[in-house]
Structure 1
Amino acid sequence: MKRKNIFRISSLAFLTAAIFTSCSDSFLEEKQNYDSTTREAYNYWSGASARVSAIYRTCLPDAAANASARFNCTGLADDQSKSTEEYSGFSVFVNPQAPLTYQTGNNPVPDYFQGTKGNPLEGVYGRIRDVNDVIIGVTESTLSQDEKDQLLGQAYFLRAWCYYNLVKWYGGVPIVTDVLEPIASSVVPRSSTKACIDFICDDLNTAETLLARFTGSGQWMSGENYGRVTSGAAVALLGRVRLLYASPMFNRTNDVTRWTQAYEDIKRSIGVLTAAGYGLANESNPGINASGWASMFSQVPNTEGIFVTLYNTLVQGTPDYRKNNTWEHGIRPNNTLGGGGKTPSAMLVDMFPMRDGKVPGGCNTYTKLDKSESDYNPQFPFIDRDPRFYRTFAFPGVRWTFTGDPRNDNNDNSYNGTDYELWNYVWYTSPALRDDITANSEATYGADNLLNNVKGFYVRKRSDDRDVNSTSRYEYTQASGFTRSASPYMEIRFAEVLLNYAEAACGAGHLDEAVAQLQRIRARVGYTAENNYGLQANLSGDAAACMAAILYERQIELAYEGKRFDDLRRWMLFDGGTVLPDGAPSSWRLTGWDGNTCSYLGFTPLNGQRRENLEFRVKIDSGQGEGIGGTTLASDPLTVAGVTRPAALDLRNDLSTQTEALREFYNANLIRKTKKGDSYNDSQAELYIEFLPRYYFLGFNQGIQSSATTLTQTIGWGDYMNGGSNGTFDPLEE
């Protein structure tokens, strides 16, 4: 129940004439703005189903949106992902010079609660109100019981999804099950975290029960209902919720009963999902260099996607169900007419496993995991890596093809899309700029007409690669590049469920089962039993090493999918959970995991570290100095020197001889350079990650409290309604 004095009811009229006509066969086309209605409309299947489609429109994750009160993180370089190893650059959560406060104008804590004032659907409770309206309207309608159950199952799932995204940030929040009016008497207090977890799980159990006979045998795995939530989606989200509640952030004493509950629920979910047709996509056919794994991010439908957001390629000016996925455009380099690319941090590049599945030598993040027997040379990061490395990153000298031709008068490079090679090595215009780690993009020039729109490394993950998917899901033009893509976004996929299973099994003491899930995930990308799928031998007998291996596998398998910040928070990996925020009671002290999750796992805390970027610059001297050139395509120092580039790595073929040829080219012509990632202070001294203890549970900023004057503030945060005194709501109190 919710304080409706915070949120105004939507005044948008329900389009009765539209919904009483025949519904579209396209699920996306049904997601129009039917977010206000009368009870009478629910007595018609067309009206009630259109209302359910409307709540999808506001509740589904969006791969094109930064994290906000409406959208969870999906892997963009937003405040959440930039607080992890995936990207550099201080976000609001890790900036040592700007600690978050509750105060407007003083680095206010992000709002994942209320959203844009005046637009209730931008805030979680506006959407919850909308879902409650659907639940009540359908329940009280004259529809048949089968019709009611099919619609209600979806609504209960979406309400649970909304609450999950609140609880992971704030702990306990107000529970609202009615459609409250915007009056003072509608105020509802925060419930305990346990009450919220129970409420979410009840909704998901209800959703599973209601949807089982419609979806439990895979009926919605294809066709016009693909993209709607299923009984499988309900059990998958239930497992994620149970895992959250068992994790150290919420479970300071390491209460094994929480792990056991998570283990039992997730283990049962595997059977439910398998019966419905879900599983690891292309599990029996890994393909070469993890091509099977890479292909799933563009496949619709596929067995991997459990909770998905669908997209289309409709153009501007069509009805409001136009929904384009812009990820492909964003990750592609500028000389493909892409958006310029996304820059991964060097920390994650250097952390990816080697080909034998082990941690690279020199990476000291996971000290309880075995180091690789293969030497890792950061000058040649593409040598002997985990197959997923080549599908997650792009670098100088790799093939990355697409359907389309970017060549025109303003883009003078050598390649059409079908034979595109990325050569993003760089040079500088002067020795001073070359030797300056902080030199900006205007001083850096890249090959093949990338010029000063070059990235030293690129994120490639989730790419619609033509060599993997010959029929692209984007429509490419020289006017807009890859902007209109219909690739899906998978919020929950089967591999995550297996990783959740592994983690819960480890926490509950079933280490053999945990290891079996890691083996299955690694087999899908080409590892074999010959070397135990690249896993060290002691994981079945060492719970700490096993859990560290699971978290490492999550970091690699789910990179750039919006999951890492949640993992870092729930395991308290910024500081190990050793420091309490001001005003925290003794019950907040971490007594499980030896009082320090980082020490227990052998994980180097992120606090006190920096994330830099990397690039490969020309090292030969073309007559102006080593690595010096001009500002044009023709001034590329390697071109001037007459250097012939080898064929780029072709991921369709074995890489062993190809990487050796590329290594020789790098050795003769390129040198790795550190590029500034995280910030410096005014004196140009390095700054380091600082995630404060109070950030594990967020407080409400002044703007939220001003709108909701009786909303109790979280411990560790100033309470605007009480003169800035410490908050009193305890997210850990049951």
Structure 2
Amino acid sequence: MKKLILPILCATLLFSCRKLDQPITRDYTDAAYWRTADDALAALASCYENLSDDVYYFGNEALSDNGYVSGTGFRAVSLIASGSYDPSNARLTEEWKYRYTCIRKCNIVTTNIDRVPGLDSTLKRRILGEARFIRAYSYFQLASWFGDVPFYTNLITIEEARAITRTKRDQVLDFVESELTDIRSALPVNNYTGNGYSEKDKGRITRGAAIALAARVHMFRSEWQKAIDDCELLINNATNGNYALQNNYTNIFTAANEFNNEVIFDIQYGGGRTHSAQRSFLPQTVALLRSTLVPTQDLVDDYIMLNGKGIRDASSGYNENDPYTNRDPRLNATILHDGSTVTDFDGKVQTILTKPGSVPATNSVDDQGASPTGYYFYKYYDRTATNYNSGLNLIVLRYADVLLMYAEAKNELGQLDAGVWNQTIRALRVRAGFNDAGATEFPGAGQDALRTIVRRERRAELAFEGVRALDIRRWKIADQVMNRPVRGIKVAGGAFRRDANGYIIVEDRVFTNPKHYLWPVPTFERDQNTNLGQNQDW
């Protein structure tokens, strides 16, 4: 589709069929549309297509200290992460266009739904609720990355788009919070009954999703009590949905266990819609492609020992010569390291060797196509994928995140006690496989020490789920953690640049405060609209 400011869609509406995992395949003119409920549902399905894609979802990990992308893949996120980008960067330019395309689609639904004759009132409220959620989610993404952004809920013209100014971030986020509260009664709980839902509608937005996203927005704004109030609507409370932790951490991210009741909101794939990003993060011997999206040593180092202590604690029992033994089980569930085993697409068990001089050297840091850090992401590996194209849904919000938000907000108000700990951190660690009291029992530490524990737990639990980049920005630590080099495994020699401790230095990064806490308004948009202005220092 031709690029237009904000981007404005042309008069021909491009809508998919009702099923959420199918690509857009049908064209309609405006005059012949909005005649039946199926027309409205098809228009709504088009909104779902712009919630996210795999390039954004996985690429976001490399916008944090969790991951690294070599080259210009994933829309040049490596340039953003290194601090060497400008307003013409592909990722931020595409993000702006992508989100406003989605907003436009949602505004088409909210503006035109009254044209459908005889539309059932309950179904109408539900369709509007879903469209408003998707629009709110898009505005949250825009405000998170860009700060002040153009804001509108009607179908503006190209001329209006070329003159619109930016609305303050807080005003946009106020709207997002208001929308997510107002639509709750129109949405079903996650058993998919009532409000016109049935089993075949799995994957659609639910009341729990609206509540959980509102909690995330509150966390972003440091609105601790509001976040607590929302989380308590979902924790041990079936009124707004039946959510719980799965018994097995690894199973959450498998095709066989999709739509489990830990998942609150995920991006739908399968059928005619697939993603192939796993070819860029798995070892070469598994996916037969260069490994360009990889974990960092800093992420690996943050996984605690089974006794609950960090590896830098002198009494932790950590052995630098045997670094992956007695670690948080989520490390092996998320990351492949030297000595890891993995079953490939042919059913063969491979041992992954990443150290220099390994034989074969295909997956080692010696090989140009292998991970430059010596690590590979394993979470979201889908062995059921045909030709590596996965139909596995990508999780945006799950119950574990709600528990972590609750623990964090409680701590920020000085209310993280043993009861809250047991509901949240202890529950997550027991599920992960911890059984040492040092890891599971409430440490009774002060607020600062508990903050470190909660943030580390969040990082380990949600790694490779795209949340770390915004976490380090809302915590205002991005200028610390992103000003460090990207490090890989420790090596004894070879043609590697290393730090004082022998760890490979893959890349230097720069994150300037306050400049890099907001992305610049894209050059293309400012060329079309001189009223947009620019963010500080850009």
TM range (shorter): 0.7 to 0.9
Give the C-alpha shift of residue 54 in structure 1.
1.2
Residue of structure 2 equivalent to 1:311: 269
Whether the 8 Å CA contact 1:357–1:372 is kept in 2: the answer is no
Give the C-alpha shift of residue 235 in structure 1.
0.7
Residue of structure 1 equivalent to 2:529: 708
**Is 1:677 equivalent to 2:498 in the alignment?**
no
Count of aligned residue pairs for this structure pair: 517
Residue of structure 2 equivalent to 1:278: 243
Give the C-alpha shift of residue 157 in structure 1.
0.7
Q: 1-side partners of 2:528 and 2:205: how far apart?
A: 33
Over alpha carbons, which structure has the higher Rg?
1
Change (3 A) 1:91 1:337: closer
Residue of structure 1 equivalent to 2:250: 294
Whether the 8 Å CA contact 1:153–1:207 is kept in 2: the answer is yes
CA RMSD of aligned residues (A): 3.5
| Letter of the structure 1 residue corresponding to residue 39 of structure 2 | G
Give the C-alpha shift of residue 345 in structure 1.
1.7
Alignment of 1:425-444 (within 5 A): 425-427=355-357
Change (3 A) 1:125 1:424: closer
Whether the 8 Å CA contact 1:325–1:485 is kept in 2: the answer is yes
Q: 2-side partners of 1:566 and 1:5: how far apart?
A: 26
Give the C-alpha shift of residue 503 in structure 1.
1.5
Alignment of 1:152-551 (within 5 A): 152-184=128-160, 187-212=163-188, 223-246=199-222, 258-270=223-235, 275-282=240-247, 292-298=248-254, 299-312=257-270, 322-341=272-291, 342-361=293-312, 371=313, 373-404=315-346, 417-427=347-357, 445-446=361-362, 453-455=369-371, 457-464=374-381, 472-475=383-386, 480=387, 483-512=388-417, 514-516=420-422, 517-528=424-435, 531=437, 533-534=439-440, 537-539=443-445, 542-551=446-455
**Is 1:43 equivalent to 2:35 in the alignment?**
yes
SS in 2 for 1:235: helix
1:364-397 superposed Cα distances (whole Å, 9 cap, x missing partner): xxxxxxx363322223211211111111222232
Whether the 8 Å CA contact 1:88–1:611 is kept in 2: the answer is no
| Letter of the structure 2 residue corresponding to residue 62 of structure 1 | D
Change (3 A) 1:553 1:565: same
SS in 2 for 1:613: strand
Whether the 8 Å CA contact 2:353–2:361 is kept in 1: the answer is no
* Greater fraction helix: 2
| Letter of the structure 2 residue corresponding to residue 228 of structure 1 | R
Q: 1-side partners of 2:90 and 2:337: how far apart?
A: 38
Whether the 8 Å CA contact 1:399–1:422 is kept in 2: the answer is yes
Change (3 A) 1:174 1:689: closer
Give the C-alpha shift of residue 358 in structure 1.
1.6
Change (3 A) 1:399 1:218: farther
| Letter of the structure 2 residue corresponding to residue 495 of structure 1 | A
| Letter of the structure 1 residue corresponding to residue 127 of structure 2 | L
Match of 1:141 among 107, 116, 127: 116
SS in 2 for 1:330: helix
1:125-154 superposed Cα distances (whole Å, 9 cap, x missing partner): 232121011012224432110220221111
Q: 1-side partners of 2:370 and 2:264: how far apart?
A: 36
Gaps of 5+ in 1: 68-73, 116-121, 247-257, 283-291, 315-321, 362-370, 405-416, 430-443, 466-471, 576-604, 620-625, 628-671, 680-687, 719-734
Q: 1-side partners of 2:252 and 2:195: how far apart?
A: 20
Alignment of 1:682-697 (within 5 A): 689-697=510-518
Q: 2-side partners of 1:494 and 1:543: how far apart?
A: 24
Change (3 A) 1:7 1:334: closer
Give the C-alpha shift of residue 398 in structure 1.
2.5
| Letter of the structure 2 residue corresponding to residue 281 of structure 1 | Q
Could you tell me the percent identity over the aligned residues?
23
| Letter of the structure 1 residue corresponding to residue 230 of structure 2 | D
Residue of structure 1 equivalent to 2:498: none
Whether the 8 Å CA contact 1:217–1:275 is kept in 2: the answer is no
Give the alignment's TM-score, normalised by structure 1. 0.64
SS in 2 for 1:87: strand
Change (3 A) 1:185 1:241: closer
Change (3 A) 1:220 1:692: farther
Match of 1:75 among 55, 58, 81: 58
Whether the 8 Å CA contact 1:32–1:54 is kept in 2: the answer is yes
Whether the 8 Å CA contact 1:345–1:613 is kept in 2: the answer is yes
1:257-308 superposed Cα distances (whole Å, 9 cap, x missing partner): x3222221222243566752222122xxxxxxxxx10111012221122111
Residue of structure 2 equivalent to 1:469: none
Change (3 A) 1:219 1:378: farther
Gaps of 5+ in 2: 71-76, 496-500
| Letter of the structure 2 residue corresponding to residue 458 of structure 1 | Y
Q: 1-side partners of 2:503 and 2:168: how far apart?
A: 47
Whether the 8 Å CA contact 1:353–1:386 is kept in 2: the answer is yes
1:16-45 superposed Cα distances (whole Å, 9 cap, x missing partner): xxx8xxx67x5323x525686537632301
**Is 1:28 equivalent to 2:21 in the alignment?**
yes
| Letter of the structure 2 residue corresponding to residue 301 of structure 1 | F
**Is 1:132 equivalent to 2:113 in the alignment?**
no
Change (3 A) 1:506 1:674: closer
Change (3 A) 1:421 1:239: same
Match of 2:465 among 561, 574, 578: 561
Whether the 8 Å CA contact 1:159–1:203 is kept in 2: the answer is no
1:677-698 superposed Cα distances (whole Å, 9 cap, x missing partner): 114xxxxxxxx54333222133
Residue of structure 2 equivalent to 1:91: 78
Q: 2-side partners of 1:394 and 1:261: how far apart?
A: 38
Q: 2-side partners of 1:487 and 1:108: how far apart?
A: 26
Change (3 A) 1:425 1:547: closer
Alignment of 1:711-726 (within 5 A): 711-714=532-535, 716-718=536-538
Change (3 A) 1:372 1:550: farther
Q: 2-side partners of 1:197 and 1:111: how far apart?
A: 21
User: Which deviates the most, 499-508 or 207-216?
Assistant: 207-216
Q: 1-side partners of 2:275 and 2:203: how far apart?
A: 15
Change (3 A) 1:562 1:426: same
Match of 1:611 among 477, 486, 499: 486
Change (3 A) 1:130 1:34: farther
Whether the 8 Å CA contact 1:5–1:182 is kept in 2: the answer is yes
Give the C-alpha shift of residue 245 in structure 1.
1.1
Give the C-alpha shift of residue 497 in structure 1.
1.4
Whether the 8 Å CA contact 2:302–2:456 is kept in 1: the answer is no
SS in 1 for 2:357: strand
SS in 1 for 2:158: coil
SS in 1 for 2:397: strand
Whether the 8 Å CA contact 1:52–1:134 is kept in 2: the answer is yes
| Letter of the structure 2 residue corresponding to residue 419 of structure 1 | V
User: Which deviates the most, 546-555 or 221-230?
Assistant: 221-230
